[in-house]
Structure 1
Amino acid sequence: MQRICVIGGSRYFGRLLVERLQAANHQVTVLNRGSAPPPAGVEHLVADRDDEAALSAVLAGRTFDVVVDQVCYTPVQAAVAARVFAGRTRRYVMTSTIEVYDPATAALPAVPPGTPVPEESVDPAAWQVAMDLPWHDAAYLEAHYAEGKRQAEAVLTRAGGFAFAAVRSAHVLGGGAREFTGRLAHYAGRVARGEPVAVHAKALPTVFIHYEELADLLSWAVAADFTGPVNACSDGLIDVHGLVGTVAAQAGREAVCRAVPAGGEASPFSFDRHYAMSNARAKALGFPFSRTTDWLPGAVAEALALSTEAPAATATSATD
């Protein structure tokens, strides 16, 4: 049994992670702003993670074997966590994102076209940190989500008060109504109603992970001893046409796609740039991944059952 603190953990794969850890007989504490209670039997601490004094006060006298940070979006938040949890935990696991590899948001090392991106393409130990940017401004943070995650990883990598690992999650799907971002529901709704889906003329593939698989991987990362970033994605690349085709097959409808002009806004998961991840490191460390094609039809069927269209969500809402 380990003492584990989950920061966030109120919904989607974060809540499922808490349930998984509890079922494995760990002593689990959830720390959030009180927006939702944790499962019965899980300790609940209420504090704003941005308020260093309040965070220190609520954690007074407490130590943990592992901290899992589901909601760290900026280097400022990371710096607060590094100070508060130094000496309180031996291991710190941050949920990060595939967006750190997005070439549209940073100058990154080139990889051959179509090659899944390895972790070393974004080295947090060498990434520049700028604490004086307006990270507390919601609009700025939304526009700079990927950079916020890169810099948060960088701060925690250099903190030195604990062993640090970053789980860079692929686009998360599955769970029906639990999938609060509305991205898969966007496709399910449009295809079911026979409405066109906006795609890039030359859409490039990406990677996905089922929310249950991500919760399992995070549970595995809690017990592991690796450090540094690790990519989390199911096997198999898929582009927006493959995704729409799966939705159409499940809906029994013919998909209609509409190409957007260069620079135009397309639907979620349509990409005009390549940054699909490689999961080779996680496999080498011992985590077995499923294939996207094994679980995607079921996730689509759940979304179709809701039969409502949801607006495309921003990247910042995808990891909680």
Structure 2
Amino acid sequence: MTQNVLVLGGTRFFGKILVEKLIGAGHAVTIATRGRTEDSFGDRVERIKVDRADEAALAAAAEGRYWDVVYDNICYTADEARAAIRVFDGKVGHYVLTSSLSVYGAGSADMPEERVDTASLDVPPSPVGKVPYGEGKAQAEAVFFREAPFPAAAARFPIVLGPNDYTKRLHFHVDRIKNGVSFVMPNTQACICFIYEEEAADFLKWLGETGQTGPFNAASAGKPKLRELLALIDRETGGSAIVMSEGPESEASPFGIEDDWAMDTSRAESAGFVFRSLDDWLPPLVRELAAPEA
């Protein structure tokens, strides 16, 4: 079924891939961005140039409009979630929020959604103010689940990897191992999970098209120990990881977790989503990142 959709934050990384997939599925796509990043969508999308943080401008842009699904990749706080509810009340059929593994603290490789039950989480009245990233995402989920007059889903993603990752977290490790440069990683025995950029886009699209509600963990199949990840990079680059258990913050690994930090994805699997195996995409990605530039 063709849907009329709005994507908040759709010009880079997996948001851009999501837009391409929605267009490919025949949906009518509008993207709302500040207009600072050029896109390659041409006349295949409608554009709304607006600052998400400017509620009045966003409300003016949404006036008289209706979308079957809003995909929100750039909501980080309870205050932004409440602003979205005010703006899109009566203008959306289903809301899909990009959330994060960061709603959970470290300490398990099998964290289920109910570990952090945001539907039962009380959020202080706005303005809530600045809180840590994971707490902000949890509060944003809670606001949509408890206060929104429309149904909502949240995709709890771990670290998203891919060639278009502008944070270059995997690049950090590939470059350092390839060039024999040390880095700090406090616990190489800790388990971690990832998701591929295209898979993240597929998952968001699936949430919107199937009308799922509530929180969903989403991660590729496979929860490697960090030492196993480093061994993979060693093999693919021909290098050898030089790891320090402690050291300056400037040398810290972006994957430097103290304990296991991974999720149980059985809820999404039971609902019909099939996750890729980490082994299918991670080794080729490492090879791609390690290849000499032409």
State the match for 1:302 in structure 2. Answer: 288
- Of residues 91, 94, 97, the one that matches 1:91 is 94
Is the 2:108–2:259 contact (alpha carbons within 8 Å) kept by the matching residues of 1?
no
- The amino acid across from 2:22 in the alignment is L
| Structure 1 residue aligned with 2:16 | 15
The 5 Å alignment of 1:127-276 reads: 127-130=121-124, 131-135=126-130, 144-175=132-163, 178-201=164-187, 203-260=189-246, 266-276=252-262
Contact 1:201 1:259 in 2 (8 A): yes
Query: Are 2:116 and 1:122 equivalent residues in the alignment?
Result: yes
Q: Percent identity?
A: 40
Contact map agreement 1:203 1:272 (CA 8 A) in 2:
no
C-alpha change, 1:204 and 1:160, in structure 2 (3 Å) is same
Alignment partner, residue 29 of structure 2: 28
Shift of 1:270: 2.4
The alignment covers a number of residue pairs equal to 288
Residues of 1 paired with 2:242 and 2:209: CA distance?
Answer: 45
Which residue identity is paired with 1:229? Answer: P
Q: Which residue of 2 aligns with 1:2?
A: 3
SS where residue 195 of structure 2 aligns?
strand
Deviates more, 1:288-297 or 1:251-260: 251-260
SS at match of 2:172: helix
Partner Cα distance (2:183, 2:224) in 1: 16
Unaligned runs of 5+ in 2: none
TM-score in terms of structure 2 length: 0.93
Q: Aligned pair 1:52/2:55, yes or no? A: yes
SS of corresponding position for 1:260: coil
Check whether the contact 1:171–1:209 (CA below 8 A) recurs between aligned residues: yes
SS in 2 for 1:250: helix
1:106-164 superposed Cα distances (whole Å, 9 cap, x missing partner): xxxxxxx65400001111112231333433xxxxx5xx111110111111111232110
Measure, in 2, the Cα distance between the counterparts of 1:210 and 1:163. 27
Contact 1:37 1:44 in 2 (8 A): no
CA distance in 2 between partners of 1:274 and 1:268 (Å): 15
The CA distance in 1 between the partners of 2:120 and 2:144, in whole Å, is 12
Paired residues of 2:78 and 2:128 also in contact (CA < 8 A): no
- Give runs of ≥4 in structure 1 deviating > 4 Å: none
**Matched AA of 1:150:** A
Alpha-carbon separation, structure 1, partners of 2:238 and 2:165? 22
Q: What is the rounded CA distance, in whole Å, between the counterparts of 1:58 and 1:132 in structure 2? A: 23
In the alignment, which of 62, 65, 69 is matched to residue 66 of structure 1?
69
Q: 1:235-267: per-residue Cα shift (whole Å, max 9, x none)?
A: 110122122111111111222222227x99741
TM-score of the superposed pair, with normalisation by structure 1? 0.85
- What's 1:76 paired with? 79
Q: For residues 174-223 of structure 1, what are the alpha-carbon distances to aligned partners after superposition, in whole Å with 9 as ceiling and x for unaligned? A: 12xx1111111110110111112321146411110110111111111110
Q: What stretches of structure 1 of length at least 5 have no aligned partner? A: 104-112, 136-140, 308-320
Deviation string for 1:94-117 (max 9, x for gaps)? Answer: 0001111125xxxxxxxxx65400
In 2 relative to 1, CA 273–18 (structure 1 residues): closer, same or farther, beyond 3 Å? same
